[in-house]
Amino acid sequence: MTLRYALLALIEAGPMTGYELAKWFDQSVAYVWHAQHSQIYTELRRLEAEGMIEAETLPRGEKATKRAYALTPAGCKQLQQWVSQVEAPPALRDPAYVKATYFEYGSYREARAQFRAHRKHYEALRDHYEEHVEQLEQRATALLKRRLAKSPASSHDAIVAYKAHAYRGLIERAKSEIAWAERGLELVDRLAAGQGVDEPVLDPSP
């Protein structure tokens, strides 16, 4: 259900076509919630069918048309209700940690490769989030400019601060994952030193 609320929040910044929504999604929401463009268009059709958004047909060039979506009163109410609800964090489902639990079935070389790949991934995310926070605090992203332009000045500080706070949390999460991977590499080095060979510790048995 999170995708629909993210779309409602995006549309609240001003009417958008499906193409524009997908573009803005990739530049903002996708940092915290992955979705394929096909999922976005499917959800837009659902929201329109449920009366949460409505589309206005606009000209595109000389002969073609396009549909720009805007929130309805029902969509505004739904967005407010979603934000007001306190939800429990989702149950953890992390394939990297599941696999790490059973690294004894592989070699130390393979375990190192896994931890290095994990560290590299989260280093890239950390850098990406840090850059995004800087842009948010400078009020420099195109979507944020659009949202601030339609919002009262008294709300601007909160709009920016909440978004920056969310991404700072992601930065801290990425740093934690980097530290975990580095501790994993240190662990592998200690185990390998004691083992003396780079072979699986344990062969799975039928």
- Give the whole-angstrom CA distance, residue 23 versus residue 37: 9
Question: How many angstroms separate the CA atoms of 198 and 62, rounded?
Answer: 68
Residue boundaries of the structural domains of the chain: 2-84, 95-195
Helices 142-149 and 18-27: crossing angle, nearest 10°? 110
CATH of domain 2-84: 1.10.10.10
Q: What is the pLDDT along the chain (206 residues), one digit of tens a residue?
A: 799 999 999 999 999 999 999 999 998 888 889 899 999 999 999 999 999 999 988 777 777 778 899 999 999 999 999 999 998 888 889 999 999 999 999 999 999 999 999 999 999 999 999 999 999 999 999 999 999 999 999 999 999 999 999 999 999 999 999 999 999 999 999 999 887 777 777 777 77
Q: CA-CA distance, 140 to 129, in Å (whole number)?
A: 14
